[in-house]
Amino acid sequence: MKMNQKLETELNENIPKHVAIIMDGNGRWAQKRFMPRVAGHKRGMEVVKTITKSASKLGVKVLTLYAFSTENWKRPQDEVSFLMKLPITFFNKFVPELIEEGVQVRVTGDIDGLPQATQDAVRKAIEDTAQGTKMILNFALNYGSRDEITKMVQSIAQAVNTKQLDVDKIDEQVIENHLQTNFLGELSNPDVLIRTSGEERISNFLLWQIAYSELVFTDTLWPDFDEKIFIEMIKEYQKRDRRFGAIKK
């Protein structure tokens, strides 16, 4: 029996439908090796492919990856420009495999704020993989939760202003309808949020959506992350007792 098969058999049926990952530690991984920070991002891109395949194989339905935040523009120009080219490289290289795997690419975040070439690559990947039904690979790109919430409030206020919506009718569902994850429907909220690299914070990621997500952390840096550690983390999730504010029957 191959190692991965053995690991998978240790998992129970309770596979999280929506897994979100904060892929942290690329810079430190590179610096430890006296390499430029972008070398860590490059390696991180390969890990994205590995984990996408692994998640799809396990039966995950949505994999949301935090690839670039609205705050990442504050990084040095060289690094920002490298990070903006990564989706282009990734899609050029892997879209055929994603199509083969039945993976559908989507993006959460402000696509219009990306450089034109990145926008074009993203839109093409979304179009080329639109028939995929096995799993959604959702890149959070130029995404920030406070930005998303601000836009949600503006859009609801606008609907109230133009009398399309009554203030009394604003409820949690209306709010979810105006968030950028709305297209995921009942899978909008991650079951589990993973963060690599030993940092234990949320960094403006899916603040509304993770209200009841299980948070799982590992010290492993993202470029060292692999299927074995991924499965260990899913096992950790499976040990948790999710009550959603209720008590156990």
Nearest to residue 59, comparing CAs of 28, 117, 13, 122? 13
Q: Is 213 annotated as a binding residue?
A: no
Residues 54-93: x where in contact with ligand FPP by CB under 6 A, - otherwise, as a string: -------------x----x----------x--xx--x---
The verdict on 144 binding ligand FPP (CB under 6 A) reads no
| Site for ligand FPP contains 192 (CB under 6 A) | no
> What is the nearest approach in angstroms of ligand FPP to the Cβ of residue 93?
9
234: contact with ligand FPP by CB under 6 A: no
**Residue 32 amino acid letter:** K
Residue 134 CB, shortest distance to ligand FPP, in Å, is 19
In single-letter form, the type of residue at position 171 comes to D
Q: Which C-beta is closer to ligand FPP: that of 29 or that of 237? A: 29
Residue number, 122 or 152, with CB nearest to ligand FPP: 122
Write out the H or E segment, with its range, that includes residue 119: helix 116-128
Number of helices followed by number of strands (H, E) in the chain: 8, 6
Query: Among all chains, which residue has been given the structure tokens 């509304």?
Result: 208
3-state secondary structure string, 159-181? HHHCCCCCHHHCCHHHHHHCCCC
Residues 31-50 that bind ligand FPP (CB under 6 A): 41, 44-45, 48
Residue 174 C-beta: closest distance to ligand FPP, Å = 31
Q: Which helix (H) or strand (E) holds 217?
A: strand 214-217
**29 annotated to a ligand binding site:** yes
Hey, what are 146's tokens? Answer: 């406070």
| Residue in 4, 72, 142, 166 annotated catalytic | 72
Instruction: Give per-residue burial for 156-190: e unless 16+ CB within 10 Å, then b.
Output: beebeeeeebeeeeeeeeeebebbbbeebeebbbb
Residue 72 is a catalytic residue: yes
13 C-beta neighbours (distance < 10 Å), count: 6
Interface with ligand FPP by CB under 6 A: which range of 17-25, 53-61, 165-173, 206-214?
17-25
Number of Cβ within 10 Å of residue 207's Cβ equals 13
Residue nearest to ligand FPP (CB): 27
Which residues does the annotation place in the binding site for Mg(2+)? 24, 214
Indicate the annotated binding residues for substrate.
Answer: 25-29, 37, 41, 69-71, 73, 75, 195, 201-203
Which of the residues are catalytic? 24, 72
Binding site for ligand FPP (CB under 6 A): 23-28, 41, 44-45, 48, 67, 72, 83, 86-87, 90, 139, 197, 222
